[in-house]
Structure 1
């Protein structure tokens, strides 16, 4: 009888299908970042951070010949600005703020965390907006709407894009 129960338990475990992620909602090689208290969620690559300056090309340590590309999102009350495919974090943030200020009718713009070598989505609902980062665009969009919907109503994606690394020239 004990062997039958153990076999039945094993069969039940094999029949259950679960979308396993290495760290929370993130795929292997990424870890969760952000949270409700900061207004954004995402997955950041594990390992050393690339150089955030404006210096020469930033090489990925595990794959020479690729340059990191940055993106950024800035939001204001009812407006946002974006930057994508920039060569540095500083340039991406500067462009996103400039884009936001041009659309905000004088309302102050605030940067969301910059992202690099991955995708980001901005979901906006009745009372707030949420940014989510992920290596996959569809995952970033779905996760942004899901997390936004946990805090407010009528959430939908207003912006999404990827800043994937580019082959060095």
Structure 2
């Protein structure tokens, strides 16, 4: 009698293997409705993450551009934190022209960096680098080749900004 009881219990356990707790969806998914081809399985939010909550999207950064434009008479235009090189350059040239510059041209464009314009004794130099100190040193060194009176006239850092 006891053997029959164990046999029936074993058969019941084998037969119960057909039943699926997730109603046909694999681990990490739940039934989300049906379509002509069958059932739709939807991911369970946070399944498989250590925190158990919603998954955090990865960080995304957006580049920023800056530009410096000048004309032969010394008029300058500057732009920083623009979303594209074209926008930065256009804004710098436009500002230079707005100050009366007649032949404004882009002297420097920089992305996710710092830009510096050094000026003195009628001479100028531009430079860009990862930091303001590096860019300033480079611009002053370039300008000082022609004039001992050089000073930083303009500086800007247009670094990438986190958008997510």
TM class by shorter chain equals: 0.5 to 0.7
**Alpha-carbon distance between aligned partners in 1 of 2:163 and 2:133, rounded to the nearest angstrom:** 27
* 1:100 correspondence with 2:93: no
How far apart are 1:168 and its partner, in Å? 1.4
1:73 counterpart residue number: 68
Of the three residues 61, 76, 81, the one matched with 1:85 is 81
Of the three residues 115, 119, 125, the one matched with 1:124 is 119
How far apart are 1:149 and its partner, in Å? 0.3
**Alpha-carbon distance between aligned partners in 2 of 1:127 and 1:115, rounded to the nearest angstrom:** 24
Aligned residues: 106
Decide which structure has the larger Cα Rg and report it: 2
Gaps of 5+ in 1: 1-62
Q: Superposition pairs for residues 1-169 of structure 1, below 5 Å?
A: 65-76=60-71, 77-103=73-99, 105-169=100-164
Q: Call closer, same or farther: CA 1:153–1:101 in 2, change over 3 Å.
A: same
Gaps of 5+ in 2: 1-57
**Alpha-carbon distance between aligned partners in 2 of 1:91 and 1:132, rounded to the nearest angstrom:** 19
RMSD between superposed Cα atoms in Å: 1.5
TM-score normalised per structure 1: 0.59
**Alpha-carbon distance between aligned partners in 1 of 2:120 and 2:126, rounded to the nearest angstrom:** 12
**SS at 1:72 equivalent:** strand
Runs of 4+ that moved beyond 2 A: none
